[in-house]
Structure formats: structure tokens, C-alpha cells
Structure 1
Amino acid sequence: MKLGCVNDARNVFDYMRDRDTVSWNALICGYSRNGYDFEAFRLFIRMLREGFCPRQTTLVALAPSCGQRELVFQGKSIHGFGIKSGLDLDSQVKNALTSMYAKCGDLEGAELLFQEMGDKNVVSWNTMIGAYGQNGFFDEAMLVFKQMIEAGVEINPVTIMSLLSANANPESAHCYAIKTGLINDASVITSLVCIYARCGSTESAELLYWSLPQKNLVCLTAIICSYAETGNLGLVVEWFARMQQLDMKLDSVAMVSILHGIADPAHMSIGHAFHGYALKGGLDTHNLVANGLISMYSKFKDVEALFSLFSEMHEKPLISWNSMISGCVQAGRASEAMELFCQMKMYGHNPDAITVASLLSSCSQLGYLRFGQRLHNYILRNKLEVEDFVGTALIDMYTKCGSIVQAERVFKDIDDPCLATWNTMISGYSWYGFENKALTCYSEMQGQQVIPDNITFLGVLAACSHGGFVSEGRRYFRMMTEEFGMLPTLQHCACMVGLLARAGLFEEALSFIKNMKTKPDSAVWGALLSACCIHQEVKLGESLAKKLYLLDYRNSGLYILMSNLYAVTGSLKSSYRILNSDMKYQEKTEDKSFETLEKSSSGHIPKTPLSMMLRSTSRPQAKMPICSNLATRKPQLENAVKLYSHIVGNTPKAKWVTLEKLTSLSFFKTFKSAATKMNIWSQNWCLKRNLVGIED
């Protein structure tokens, strides 16, 4: 049993003619120590049926196997048997039962047993300290430790380690270790290194590590994992090299931590190196490591590597499917995520909360409202908790698919929204055109004592920019920088520039850009150029266009904005010239996409389960003709259609165009009323997410 050969030990036991309590205890204890918890309990039942009378040692051997929440009933049965059979429940048995109750989360049962002990030894005190620590009651653990000192019980290294497991602040336990002289114990130093590393105090962990007479793998792994969690890959590599010098090898847990810490595509070479190490050491066969590799490559947006890794996995549990689906979503490949979901169902896996959240993100990217509603119904039918990440994903899906009413319903059903949920709702209101509701939502969030972050203020400033709330925007920007001490990002600055410029405050907007601590990017200058279209500032717009061209000449949005500027001032020839230059540049890159669209429009869609599902869930307005839908809304749109048709020419490409470019042409300057504004927005919402056919 000590060698882990459980089957061999069982064969020897089955061939024994004369079995006694000792042999039964040895078998039960072996099964328990090797992780066969339920089998150990079944052996105990069989032992009783064959007429053997368990002893205290049997209960001590069996109690650890019932230290799980799902086995709490079996644990209570063992305790009840001990009382009913009249066994002398000495301190050793009670300590084992106390530890069992603590691991099952039944602190009340652990406390009752501890209080019933007449003669508490050091193991009893250590067990109770550890019981509170395992369940997150750090103050109670410290109180029991102080009572232990007052009772005159001499502490040992296990006491310090139990206190460390119960204490989020390791300094106090460190002081007790120094005071009692236990700081020289290797197990105490190792525990201190691990807890310091877990808390992020890597400098203290390193100092203690160098005091170890014999360096061990546990300390090295803890330090490496700590640096990996903070993304400090330089020190990860440095400590990994020290591990290699000591002829030590990473285990699967450390490898997973390192892989999760490699998030920047600039560190792809480091990721490839650790992938090679995992292959050489055979760690890639572990599902946890394989999932870590999938997570890493998804951050690199290397979908081919994801599918290669996934295909090589012999066993594909639900967590692996979730990693793949989430990885495709992170890489912006929502269609592949949907395909994986179909395959997952074919393999008999039912989606859990993580799967549903990833699929909802796919629906957000693709705009599949109907499929998102089906997922919502699945959540309700299976009684999944609509809290935190699932609720946030639902709200995000509904807002991005254009159903703000359903997003509001989900938000109201969440009892205690987290910060991410508030941010999603504020951004949804802002994006959907309900600027006042966005600001009201922020006020309600403040009333709930939720501290905002950068994303919160990005949504609030965007609402102020879209709604033209200049004074409110200034106030919120000052609040972000002065009251909460946040450094504004380029996105925040772009919102402020857009807010000021749209209000006609160009001098203040230029002054704001001049005083920025970071160099403005294309988003900042683009916000100013967009405002030039509104106020017909041609000279300023032309100078801004030159700056934007130097920053990012490949961005087609630059050409569209300049075309808008010339169009609203009546310079249609200049507008045509700008758009024509953009189309010539984009022509080569769009050839493949047009071919795909032509195939889709002719109905030649591959008959896969995914294609059938997407066809059934696509929205009715996905392929509506422009002339019969938009041109009837406003006569000026006919000019837009004619101009764009003239640019692309009488080619097959003229039948299928991205209407994001078409509808951005500014022939809407006469639209003033709020109702018309919302009408135009609703058109753009559908158009930005669909490719539609132009009828001759």
C-alpha cells in the first residue's frame, strides 16, 4: 500500500484465509491514503457484515477518507457507530473526527467534539486551528491559538504550519516561530516561503529560501508560481534556471501556473520553450497542463495550435472542452467556438456555467440573439445561478445583440451585482443610446458602495460624449483622476476629446490633447476628426487627417471620416476621390471575403450541424435589400447608394458591400429629432453586424 500498489495489495488480501482486524485496518487505511475514499468506506461496511468488530484504529484510518462534503453522511455514520458500539473514543479518534468534520465544512460538529475533549493535547489544538483556517475563519483560528498559549500547551512545527494555513497575514506566525525557536525547522521555513509567495511577498519568500540548508522543490515551485501569477516572466525564467541547476523538475501544478502567466504575445518564444519542456518531460499528457497550453495559445490567438493540442488529447473531459471554447472566443473565432459546442453535445457533455458564459460571449461577437435566448432558457431550466460571470455574460449578450429590455430584466434579477455586472450594464446603456440611464445606473452603483474602476468610467464618459453632457463629463473625469486616483487611458482621453469637440469646443479639445501625459493615438485624433464632420471644420479636418495618415495609413476609418467631411460640405468630388483611394487599397484584401459572401448568398452553405444551427438562429434582417429598406427611410440615402455603386463599379462585388462604410457616409445632417436619431441608430445597429445585398 505504501508503494501505491493498491490492486496488488487487494489481491493478497483476497487470497488470505485467516483475516483479522489488523489486516482489515491495513487494507482500509491503504485505500484511504491512496485516494480511494468511497471504496474504503465500502470495505468498512463489508468488514462489519463479515462479523469483524472495528477498533479505534479502524475509525482513525477511515475518518480521513470521509473528509469531503459529498461524504459527510458516511462520516457521521462512522461517528455514530463509534458511539453506539461503545468504543472508547479517545483523543486520537476525536482528533481524526474533528479533522473530518472540518474538511466536510461542518464546523459546528468539529467545535462540539473539540469542546467535549476533557484532555486536549497539542494535536487537538492544532486540528482545531487548522479546521478554522480551512474554512476561512482566520480570527477564530488566532483566538484558539491564543487559548492554546494560555493553557500552557507547548507549540510545535505543526502548530505554526496550521496557523499559517489559517492566516492571510503570515508576519504574526513568523514572529511566533522566531520567538519559540522553530524558525530553524525546515518544514516551518517551507510553509513560510509558500505563504509569503502566495501573498505576493516574494522578497520575504526569497530571503527565507536562502536560509534553508537544503533547498527543496516545494519552495522553488512556490516562488516560481508567485512570479508567474504577477506576469514577471524574467524572474520566472531565472528561478527556473536555478531549479535546473539543482537537477529538479517542474511538476504539473507549477507548469500550469507558468502557462497561465504567459499572456503577452510578445512572450511567445518563452511560451514555446515551456511547451517544449512539457513535451520533453511528458507533462503534456496531464489534462491540467494541456488546458494550460490551450489557454496560453488562445491569448496568442493561435487557433491552429489550439486544435492541434486538442486533437492530441486522449481524454477530453468537460473542462477541456470549456478551455477550447473559451480559447476560441478569446481569439475572436466565435464560429469555431459554436462548432466545438455542437461537437461537445455529440460527445455527450452537457454545458455547465463556464460553457454557457463562453457561448454567450460567442453570441455577443456574432450577434446571435436567438441562440443567446436559448442559452438563457437552458440556464433557467437547469437552475444555474445567474450571478457574477454568467449574469454579466447574459447582459453583455443582450446589449450587444440589441435587446436592452431583456438585459435590464436580467440585471434586476441579480441580487448583488458585482463590479463587472455594473460595468456591463453602464456600457450597454451608453452603447444603446440611453445616456441618462447610464449615468443613473452609475449613481445607483455608488449607492451600493461599489468602487468603480477604469472600465466603469470609460462607460460613463462614453455616455457623456454621446449625450453631449459636457459639464458632467468634466466632473466625472476629475472624479476619476482626483477622487479615485486613476490614470486615464487613451480610451478615456478619446472620450473626453470627442465630448468637447462635438460640443464645438475645439480649442479646449486641442488644449486637452496638448496636456495629455501620454502620446495621443489614432483614436484620440479620430474623435476630433469625427467632430470636424459635424461642425464642417474642413481645414482642421485636413490637418488631422495628415496626422492620422502618419499614425495608421491602413485604417479605412480615416478615409471614411474624410469622405464624410467633404460630403457634408458639398464637395462630392473630393468625397468620391477619398473613398476611391480607400477602395483601391482595400480591394486586394477583400477579394476572399467577397467570394465567401457570394457563396453564402447563393445558398451553398456546408451542411454541418453548426451551419444548420446558425441558419436557424440568424436574424430575419440579416440579408434585407438596401434599396427596399433604407432608401425609403430618407431620400438622401439614394445618393449614398449611387455614390458607393459608382465607386465599386459594375462587378459582382457591387452586389455585396459592407454597409458599415455605406451608412457612415454623412447624408444624415438634417436628422435632428431624438426619435429620428434613435431610428438611424437602430438601422446602423443591424447594418454594422450584417452584410446585405444591393438589388439592381
Structure 2
Amino acid sequence: MKSLFNHKYHTKFALLNLKFASSLSIIDDPPIFLGKYGRGSSPFDPIQFFSEYAKSRLCTITNTKVLHTHLLRTAVLQSNIFVANSLLDWYCKSAAMVDALKLFDLIPHPNIFSWNIMISGYNQNALFLNSWGIYCRMHSSGFEPSDITYGSVLSACTALRAPMFGKQVYSLAMKNGFFSNGFVRAGMIDLFAKTCSFVDALRVFHDVSCQNVVCWNAIISGAVKNEENWIALDIFRQMCSRKLVPNSYTFSSVLTACAAIEDIETGKGVQAWVIKCNAEDVFVGTALVDLYAKCRKMDEAVKKFSQMPIRNVVSWTAIISGFVKKDDSISAVKFFRDMRKTGEEVNNYTLTSVIAACTQPTMIEESTQIHCLILKTGFYLDAAVGAALINMYSKVGAADVSERVFQEMENLQNMGTWAAMASSYAQNQASGRATELFQKMLQESLKPDEFCTSSVLSIIGCLDFGRQIHCYALKSALGFYCSVGCSLSTMYSKCGSLEESYKVFLEIPAKDNVSWASMIAGFAEHGFADQALELFRDMLSDGVMPDNMTLNAGLTACAVLPSLKTGKEIHGYALRAGLGNDRVVGGALITMYSKCSALKLARSVFDVLPEKDQVAWSSLASGYAQNGYIEEAVLLFHHMLMADLAIDSFIVSSILGSIALLNKTSIGTQLHAHIIKMGLDSDVSVGSSLVTMFSKSGSIEDCCKVFDQIEEPDLIGWTAMIVSYAKNGRGAEALRVYEIMKKEGIKPDSVTFVAVLSACSHSGLVEEAHFHLHSMAKDYGIEPGYRHYACMVDLLGRAGRLEEAERFINDMPIEPDSLVWGTLLAACKVHGDIELGKRAAAKVMELEPYDAGAYISMSNICADVGQWEEVLKIRSQMKGIGVMKEPGWSFL
């Protein structure tokens, strides 16, 4: 019986073999099969035939239909489920899912393999909704799914981002006894991990103790994708402790986690294990390159990259991105060129990386070449590449080209390109264009995202428009983003509304270092340094680890107070945090110590900085200048020039201030020539300092020439010119400049009014002074301060109207201070009014008991009228309370 069965079996398929040969003769390349089956004597093996056909290049839709036609003629499809399933699999691999479904519907008794082939086929062709539909149809037909079924349909749910469907499938799998199946559990872990429910993924993983590496790989990979890198490393250690052997997939995920947190030591340990297990493939090698690149170990990254036998586009992109991160644009471009020479195809990630390398102004030629390549390869349609191009041209100073790229992009509905354009306007301080862009987005029914909103907020200076954007952010639920909240807080602070700034800051749900640094700096800049330091302490109490920006903000607050003790404490914290040699922190420390008159400490910090940038040099030079170490300031500036360091307007202004104090006109003239050579004479801060310097030497003509060179004089520049005229006794010209300033649309501040009243005082313009004093509050809402009232007292005193000056002081809306009474005392000395002088001196001594000036002035008044007993009495009084007269000195 057995021999008879074998005889029939071989006879049946021998005939089938011949029919196959005749049908296959019309296939494009028949020798592959005819040589083996068409003329051979061996019996036909359908399993081998279908397997080899699937592996060959003949598995196309045309050839599959030819085979289908032949099988229909032989009627074998109705009798052999293996043949039917094999043909069904060919259709799926040929992406002919419509034909596959027609064949599936004609199979009289499909088995579990038939259903699985259809589900997997739809998955392979990204028709995940159809995959779910077939599964539902299978379930309603009463078929019991296998682990392959559950795993495949869970993959479809993952692609559809449908966790509810996935939970239903997983519940059914557990009910049917698959709760410990590694393939099913891995699918569910992957589903939860990719749908932002990593906690649920962990719960599924920990439900059952599992020795299946696939499950461990799924949870480690899920942790990495959810940026839970520390958890990924911890799970990997647990996996190793259970003596499970990791594979290349495990190693690549773990190395990616090490790269994300820049844990080079753990990464090297994993690399050693990779070598031991001989588990390195292109993915592990790429992960190692990425690890070293992200840890800024580019020598090791290049060495590992050169050792890779096979490199893919991800490997090349990793090494290029590493050089970009290290600001080595030349090496990044070089590797990109080498990549092109190998013929490796680039992708959008490669292009965005190399575009980021070309953001230096010196690389405009390379950036143009990259742009041409993008146009040639068609990547200009990619939104990410277009956004990178916009950002690149913005940073090389070609904002007009950025705008042209933005206008030429077809996919203008992509929010990334709009955000890049908004950022470009912000970088180039084009607040008007940024505002227009934001309004245009709203007009075109686009919804600005957090990146667009943050960029626009960072540049606008109009409080009303800022409030409108704030309303939009609240309406669009963008206020929950830390970047938007931080930008709003900064905007309110910049516009002078510190209360609203702090209110927004408190509403930020998850404050990062940027938001803390912004708020601390806002308090310090608006004169609330105590509150700034209190906020810094609150940040530490909340467990936030300060970075260089928050430390910089805290040190700025210490400089404003000034508070040397707190500054030293922050310095100590910076040293413990390993940021003591950071360039940003170093510059802030030098400024803080300089403001606190601790120049030796400032110099010590400067000397130990490994990389002294422009800020460090400028801070120390300015510190010397502001603390009266004029020669040291000029000498340091000379060293900067000799070292060919970049000189900015800030340090030039500080040095000019020092030279003005020294009254060294010759040095000032030399520096003026150097300023013209550098092209800084049109800078408003430098021009204002030059005006002040020439004013000190009495050269009004030079003041006028310098002022005319300023491109756009600001309030400080105009005020400096008014002060120059006032100090040189030319009050009428000072008031004329003041009127011109107002016509230019520049509003005066309290300092400007001090200059105006001083000009009136030096020229005896009493009525004009009263007019401008009243104009302060009436026209500009500025309440007069002690210096303004002192100017009025000085004016009345110079005019000899001492009693009127006394009445003016008594009628002041604020309590007079020692400056006001001291001004009257000086006028009494000039005019020899001893009685009024005594009253003024008594007021000064009451307010400032240790002010030697009042005692000396009163003593001189008495001496002038021959009251030597009073002189001795005053001298004795000074000695009794310990008031010492400082010796006079002069530069002459």
C-alpha cells in the first residue's frame, strides 16, 4: 500500500512538472526553472519549487499571474492548500494585494497560514487598516489566531497608532494562553512604547518573567525611543544579570542610549562586550560612531568609522553630525565629499547635517554648492531640508536668500519652514518682518506652533502686540510649552512689565534652565537684584541643576547689588559643578568681581580660564577702568591689540571712559584713529563715549564731528551731546540740541533732564529750568528726583537767589537729601551767607554725620568771615566723631 501511494504521488507530480515547464516557457527568464525541473528526471518538489521561485528575481506580478493561470488549468489550487498559500504569498510580495484578496476569497478552506499571509502582506505594503480588517474577519469566522497572527496585527495597530485596538488584541491573546509568548508580548510592548505610553509598556514587560531576548530588546528599544535612556541602561543590566545573551539589536539600542546621555564609559564597556560576542554589524558599528561623535570624541569616532567594513547612509550621517556638533565645519564638509565619492546615496538627515556645517559666514561658497546639489537631487521639496537652508542663509548673513528659499518652497503648509523663517527674522532683528509673517500665517488659516510663536516673541518690542500673541498662545494651548512661556516672560520683561513677566513665569508647568535664567536676569536688569537672587535660591530648592546660563544670571544679580559674599558662593557652586572654567561663567565671574571692586579675584579668574574669549577680556578691561585702575585698563587693551583679538564697541567704550578720566587727550586721539580704522566710529555707544572724552578736554568742535559720524544716535548719544554743551557753559546750544532730539522722535529720560537742567544752571536760565522741571511730569510722566532738584538749587544759588533756593527746598514734594542741602551749602560759601550756610550744613550733618565735605565747607565759610572760634569748634567736632578729611590729588 505504501509503495502504491508513493507511485501515485510521483506520477501525479511528474505530470504536473511537465505542465509547469510548458507554462513557464513564456516567463521572462525561464532557464532558471526549466533547467532544473523542465527536463530533469527527478520528481517535482512543490515546496522546493515555490521556495526557490520566491527567492529569485522572477517573483513579479506578471510572472505570478502566469503561474496562477497555469494552476487554474491544473485545478491544483482547489486541492492543495500549500500551493494556494504559496501563490497567495507571491501576490503579497509582488504588492498585488487586490489580486491576493481575490485569490484568498476563492480558497475553499483557508487555514491559519492563509490568514497570516494576508495580514502580513497588508503590513508589508503599509495597508495597516486592511490588515486590521482581515484580522476582524478572521476573528468573526471563528479561527483561532496563532502567535504570528497576534504579533502581526499588533504591528498594524502600532502603525495605526491605535492602542485601544491593540489592548483588545492583547487581551484576547492572554485569554487564549499566549500571555507568556515572547513574540506577542514584544508586539504589545512596542505598541505602547510607540504610542507614548511607556509606563504601560513597562507594565506589560514586568507582567511575566521572560527569558525571551525579543521582549528585552523591545522594552530597551522602547525606553530609548521615549528618551528614558537611564531606564534602558538599567533594564540592560538586569538582562545581563539573568545571563541572557544580547544580540546586535540589543547592543545598538543600548549604545544609542549611552550616546543620548553622553555616557562614554558605559558605552566603552558595551563596546568591549560587542567585541567579545563578535556581534558587530553595520547597525552596531554606526551606533558606536554615533556614541563617540555625540561625546565629542571625534578621533575615536573617525577610527571606528574607518574600521567599519560596510557603511550605510546612517553611518556617514553620524560622523558628519559629530563634526557639526564640535563646530568643525571643514571636517564635516570633507566627509560629506568623501561620502559622495563612494556613491552612497544621501538622505534628508545627511543634508540637514551638512547644511548645519555651512552656517559660517566664511563658507558661503560651500553653502551655495550644497544648495545646487539639493536642487539637482530634488530634496528641495523636503520641508526639513528647506528649513535647514533658510536657517543656513540666515546665519551666513544672507537673509534675503532665506526669504527667497521660503517663497520658492512648494510645501508652504509645513510648519517647520514657517518656524525657520520666523527664526531667521529673529536672528536678523527684523521685528517688523517677523510680525508680518505671524499675521500672514493667521490670515492663511495656519496655526503657528510653539517654535514660530517663540521666535516672534523673542524679537518683538511692542507690549500690545505681545499681549495679542499671549492671547493666541492661551487660546491655542501653546502656553503649556516651556519655550513659549519663557519667550512670553522675556517679552514682558523686555517691554518693562516685570509683574506680568513673573506671572507668566509662575504659570510655566515645567520650568527649564532657560526659563529660570531668563526670569533671574529680568529681575536683575530691572533693579530687583535681591529678588533675582531669591529666585536663584528657589531654583536650587526645586532641585534644578544650574547650567552656565543660570549661573551667569545669578552672578549678574550679584554684580548689580553688588554682593561679593553671594558671588563667591555661586563661584564655589560653579567650581563643584565643573563649570568654573566655562567661558560664559568665567566672563560673568570677572564682571561680578569687578563690580564688587575685587580686582585681584577678577584677575585670578581671568588667568586660569583655559579659553579667554572676547567677553573675558572686555570684562576685565572694563573692570579696571570702572574701578579707577586706568593704566591697567589701557595696558590690557594694548595687549588685546597686540594679540590681534577682536575688539567690540563695549570694550572700546569702557577704555574711552578711562581715558576721559585720565584726561590724556593724546591717547584718546590715537584710539580715535584706531576706532575709525575698525569702522566703529558710527557705533552709537562708541560715538557717545568719544563725545564724553572730547567734552572733558573742552573740545566741543571735536564733539560735534564725532556726533555727526554716529549712524543712528540714540538717547544716550543725544544726552552725551547735551551734557557736553552744558559742562562747557554753552547752555543755549545744549537746549537747541535737546529740541532737535525731540523732533527726531526720541523721548528724554530722567538722565536727559539732569543734563538739560544742568545746562540751564551753567547759563543762568532760571525760567527755562522751571519750564523743563514741570515738563518732566506733565509731558513725559517722569517724576523729578534728587539730582533734578539739586540742579534747580544750584541754578538759584548761582543766580544769588539763596532764600528762594531755601524755600524751593522746603517746598519739595520729596524729603530733601544731603545732595540737595549740600548744593545749597556750596552756594552759601560762594556768596558768604553764613547763617543760611549754618542751617544747610546742619541738615547735611544730620543726614550724613560722617560726610567730611559739609564740615569743611562750613569751616571755610567761617574762616572767610574771620570767625576763627567757629572754625576751631567745627574742627574739634570732626575730631570727636572721627571724621577725616581726605587729602586732595590731581592728575596735573
TM-score, normalization by structure 1: 0.75
**Residue 122 of structure 2: aligned partner:** none
Provide the residue aligned with 2:405 in structure 1.
208
1:343-382 to 2 correspondences below 5 Å: 343-344=538-539, 353-373=548-568, 375-376=570-571
1:426 aligns with 621
Q: What corresponds to 2:248 in structure 1? A: 56
- Aligned-CA RMSD value: 4.6
Q: For the structure 1 residues 160 and 377, does the alpha-carbon distance in structure 2 shift closer, same or farther, using more than 3 Å as the test?
A: closer
Structure 1 position 491, deviation (Å):
5.2
Q: Which residue of 2 aligns with 1:175?
A: 372
Q: Is the 8 A contact 1:637 1:667 kept in 2?
A: no
Q: Counterparts of 1:249 and 1:196 in 2: how far apart (Å)? A: 25
Alignment partner, residue 217 of structure 1 = 415
Which of 303, 314, 319 pairs up with 2:498?
303
Is 2:204 the partner of 1:12?
yes
2:316 maps to which of 125, 132, 136: 125
Instruction: Give the whole-Å Cα distance in 2 for the aligned partners of 1:530 and 1:167.
Output: 52
Equivalent pairs: percent with the same residue?
24
Letter in 2 for 1:26: A
The corresponding residue for 1:529 is 726
Q: Which one has a bigger Cα radius of gyration?
A: 2
1:192 is the counterpart of 2:389: yes
Q: Which residue of 2 aligns with 1:329?
A: 524
- What is residue 800 of structure 2 aligned with on the other side? 574
Q: What secondary structure is seen at the aligned counterpart in 2 of 1:574?
A: coil
Which structure 2 residues correspond to residues 254-653 of structure 1 after superposition, within 5 A? 254-262=452-460, 264=461, 267-315=462-510, 319-341=514-536, 343-344=538-539, 353-373=548-568, 375-376=570-571, 384-385=579-580, 388-414=583-609, 416-481=611-676, 483-489=677-683, 492-505=686-699, 521-532=718-729, 540-541=730-731, 544=734, 555-559=753-757, 572-574=798-800, 576=802, 583=809, 587-588=812-813, 590=814
Once the two structures are TM-superposed, the CA of residue 279 in structure 1 deviates from its matched residue by 1.5
| 2:521 partner letter | S
Amino acid at match of 1:137: D
Q: Deviations over 1:240-281 (max 9, x none)?
A: 23433554433333333332223x3xx112211221222122
Are the aligned partners of 1:230 and 1:261 in contact in 2 as well (CA < 8 Å)? no
Aligned partners of 2:757 and 2:805: how far apart in 1? 6
> Cα deviation per residue 1:512-567 (whole Å; 9 max; x = unaligned)?
668877777232121232244xxxxxxx4466467669976972454456657889
Q: For the residues of structure 2 that align with 1:638 and 1:580, how far apart are their CA atoms?
A: 14
Tell me the secondary structure at the aligned position of residue 263 of structure 2. helix
| Aligned amino acid, residue 54 of structure 1 | P
Check whether the contact 1:206–1:223 (CA below 8 A) recurs between aligned residues: yes
Q: Give the AA of the match of 1:116.
A: Q
The runs of 5 or more residues in structure 1 that have no matched partner are 533-539, 598-622, 670-674, 681-696
Asked if 2 retains the 8 angstrom alpha-carbon contact of 1:640 and 1:667, the reply is no
Match of 1:603 in 2: none
Q: Which residue of 1 aligns with 2:229?
A: 37
Note the alpha carbon deviations across 1:297-318, whole angstroms, 9 max, x for none.
2212222113322333455566
Paired residue for 1:65, among 242, 252, 257? 257
2:431 to 233, 237, 240: 233
Unpaired runs of 5+ residues, structure 2, are 1-192, 743-747, 765-792, 861-885
Residues 229 and 260 in structure 2, CA contact (< 8 A), matched pair in contact too: no
Q: Kindly provide the CA deviation profile for residues 351-375 of structure 1, in whole angstroms up to 9, marking residues without a partner as x.
A: 6654443344334333444544555
Structure 2 CA distance for partners of 1:235 and 1:7, relative to 1, 3 Å: same
Report the secondary structure of 2:670's partner residue.
helix
User: Which letter does structure 1 place at the counterpart of 2:587?
Assistant: T
TM-score of the superposition, structure 2-length normalised? 0.60
Comparing 276-285 with 115-124, greater Cα deviation is found at: 115-124
Counterpart code for 1:461: L
Hey, what's the Cα distance between the residues in 2 that align with 1:559 and 1:659? 29
Q: Which has the higher contact order (CA 8 A, sep 6+)?
A: 1
Mapped partners of 2:626, 2:336: distance in 1? 54
Query: Aligned letter for 1:145?
Result: F
- The residue that corresponds to 2:288 in the other structure is 97
Whether contact under 8 Å (1:563, 1:579) holds in the other structure is no
Are the counterparts in 1 of residues 435 and 456 from structure 2 also a CA contact under 8 Å? no
Q: Matched residues in 2 for 1:171 and 1:464: separation?
A: 46
Equivalent residue number for residue 614 of structure 1: none
- The verdict on how the C-alpha distance between 1:16 and 1:448 changes in structure 2, with shifts beyond 3 A counting, is same
Q: 2:7: which partner in 1?
A: none
Aligned residue in 2 for 1:146: 337
Structure 2 letter corresponding to 1:312? E
Secondary structure at the aligned position of 1:164 is classed as helix
Cα distance in 1, alignment partners of residues 833 and 668 from structure 2: 34
Alpha-carbon separation, structure 2, partners of 1:20 and 1:553: 75
